[in-house]
């Protein structure tokens, strides 16, 4: 639909509002209107308050539960099913580092590459490019557990056949957050005005030189924000990893391509599953570690966006 076709609708909207406003001012009392407005403002503020209260309650509750276990040994001690008093998250943290390292290694080049192709090279009139776009949007909405099934059938077993190792978890989670990275990078690249690349091209730079030396540097803060938010999401992701082997109870330091592995959220889940009170405290302490990590990354991303994002 073009803009012109919408004009009658806008006009109709305006007429409807005019009629409503006139009727109101002629029939309704001014005081009642003010009362209704006041009630609505209170309703809106309680909506905002409710959402924020949920977040604050979660954080406060977890600190109240697990705060007592917040020592360095929580991070450095190996896990245990017998002595919850001294058990820690060492192998799970290492597992998370491996998985996330692999995710970053994968999503940065591939995510940015796909975004550059779609924004700078792709001809939007071609059906295959539209298919790629539609596909990425759809992929962003596929439930994480379905990616777990993909990981199980395709990466752990099947064609790739890595086995239940950290690398398989890494690829699975990487594919899961890839659409988010692509969408954020596209947004960042699109925000760079075309006059910048037109100027570079007019001066004789090639397409790739223009992208490498003008477009990408200008888009870096936006891309980085998207990557960091995706990493924060990847750290907290547990569901797909359940299917690709992270449930193994490992007491030894994991390796990337062999042996079992676990990650922080999965380990937290396993501790929380045990009946004793000490394990519940241990799980809550693990949640605090994860929350600190995720909140730090989120705040960093927000700061980065506010600090470096340029308005052209």
Partner 1 sequence: MTTTSAEGHWSLSASSPRYGEKAVLVFFWLCAVLSVAVTTAIVFSLLPPTIGFFREVSFSEFFGETVWAPAFATPSFGVWPIVVGSGIVVVIATMVAVPVGLLTAIYLSEYAPNRIRRVVKPALEVLEGIPTVALGLFAFWFIRPTIETLTPFLPWQGPFSIGVAGLAVGLLVVPLIVSVSDDAMRAVPAALREGAYALGASKLEVSLRVVVPAAISGIVAAMVLAGSRAVGETMVVWLAAGAGNPTVNFDLTKGAQTMTAFIAGRSTGDIPAEGVVYDTIFAVGSLLFFATLILNMIAMRFVRRFREVYD
Q: Which of residues 7-66 bind partner 1 (CB under 8 A)?
A: 10, 13-14, 16-18, 20-22, 24-25, 33, 36-37, 40-41, 43-48, 50-52, 54-55, 57-58, 61-62, 65
Residues 179-238 binding partner 1 (CB under 8 A) are 179, 182, 206-208, 229, 232-233, 235-238
Q: Nearest CA to 301 among 238, 239, 235, 245?
A: 235
Instruction: Select 46 or 258, whichever has its Cβ closest to partner 1.
Output: 46
- Alpha-carbon distance of 286 to 153, in angstroms, equals 30
Residues 108-137 binding partner 1 (CB under 8 A) are 109-114, 116-118, 120-122, 131-132, 134-137
Q: What token pair was written down for 173?
A: 């989670």
Smallest gap from Cβ 209 to partner 1, in A, equals 9
Residues 143-162 binding partner 1 (CB under 8 A) are 143-150, 152-154, 157-158
Instruction: Select 6 or 85, whichever has its Cβ closest to partner 1.
Output: 6
292 lies in the site for partner 1, by CB under 8 A: no
Q: Nearest CA to 185 among 139, 136, 145?
A: 136
Q: What token pair was written down for 83?
A: 């002595």
- Alpha-carbon distance of 294 to 276, in angstroms, equals 27
- Alpha-carbon distance of 265 to 246, in angstroms, equals 10
Instruction: Select 144 or 220, whichever has its Cβ closest to partner 1.
Output: 144
Residues in the chain: 312
Instruction: Select 117 or 256, whichever has its Cβ closest to partner 1.
Output: 117
CA atoms within 13 A on the CB side of 86: 4
Residues 250-269 binding partner 1 (CB under 8 A) are 265, 268-269
Kind plus residue range of the DSSP H or E element containing 247: none
Residues 83-102 binding partner 1 (CB under 8 A) are none
138 lies in the site for partner 1, by CB under 8 A: yes
Q: Which one of residues 70, 75, 97, 139 is an interface residue with partner 1 (CB under 8 A)?
A: 139
Smallest gap from Cβ 82 to partner 1, in A, equals 21
Is the CB of residue 77 less than 8 Å from the CB of residue 94?
no
Query: In the chain, what are the helix, strand and coil shares in percent, each to the nearest 5?
Result: 75, 0, 25
Smallest gap from Cβ 53 to partner 1, in A, equals 10
Kind plus residue range of the DSSP H or E element containing 14: helix 3-27
Smallest gap from Cβ 23 to partner 1, in A, equals 11
Smallest gap from Cβ 71 to partner 1, in A, equals 20
Rg over alpha carbons for the chain, rounded to the nearest Å, is 26
Is the CB of residue 212 less than 8 Å from the CB of residue 189?
no
Smallest gap from Cβ 218 to partner 1, in A, equals 18
Smallest gap from Cβ 220 to partner 1, in A, equals 17
């Amino acid at each position: 639909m073009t803009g012109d076709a919408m004009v009658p609708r806008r006009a109709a909207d305006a007429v409807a509002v005019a009629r409503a406003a006139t009727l109101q001012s002629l029939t309704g009392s001014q005081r009642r209107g003010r009362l209704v407005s006041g009630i609505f403002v209170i309703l809106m503020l309680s909506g905002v308050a409710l959402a924020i209260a949920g977040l604050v309650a979660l954080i406060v509750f977890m600190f109240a539960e697990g705060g007592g276990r917040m020592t360095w040994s929580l991070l450095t001690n190996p896990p245990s099913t017998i002595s919850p008093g001294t058990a820690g998250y060492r192998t799970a943290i290492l597992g998370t580092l491996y998985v996330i390292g692999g995710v970053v290694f994968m999503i940065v080049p591939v995510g940015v590459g796909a975004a550059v192709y779609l924004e700078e090279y792709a001809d939007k009139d071609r059906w295959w490019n539209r298919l790629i776009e539609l596909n990425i949007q759809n992929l962003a909405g596929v439930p994480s557990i379905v990616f777990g099934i993909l990981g199980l059938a395709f990466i752990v077993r099947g064609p790739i056949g890595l086995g239940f190792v950290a690398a398989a978890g890494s690829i699975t989670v990487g594919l899961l957050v890839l659409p988010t990275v692509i969408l954020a990078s596209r947004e960042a690249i699109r925000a760079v005005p075309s006059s910048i690349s037109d100027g570079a091209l007019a001066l004789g730079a090639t397409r790739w030189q223009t992208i490498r030396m003008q477009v990408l540097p200008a888009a870096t803060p936006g891309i980085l924000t998207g990557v960091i938010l995706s990493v924060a999401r990847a750290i907290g992701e547990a569901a797909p990893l359940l299917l690709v082997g992270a449930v193994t109870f490992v007491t030894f330091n994991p390796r990337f391509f062999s042996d079992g592995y676990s990650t922080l959220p999965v380990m937290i889940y396993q501790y929380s599953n045990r009946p004793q009170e000490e394990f519940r405290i241990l799980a809550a302490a693990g949640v605090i570690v994860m929350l600190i990590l995720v909140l730090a990354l989120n705040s960093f991303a927000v700061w980065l966006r506010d600090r470096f994002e340029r308005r052209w």
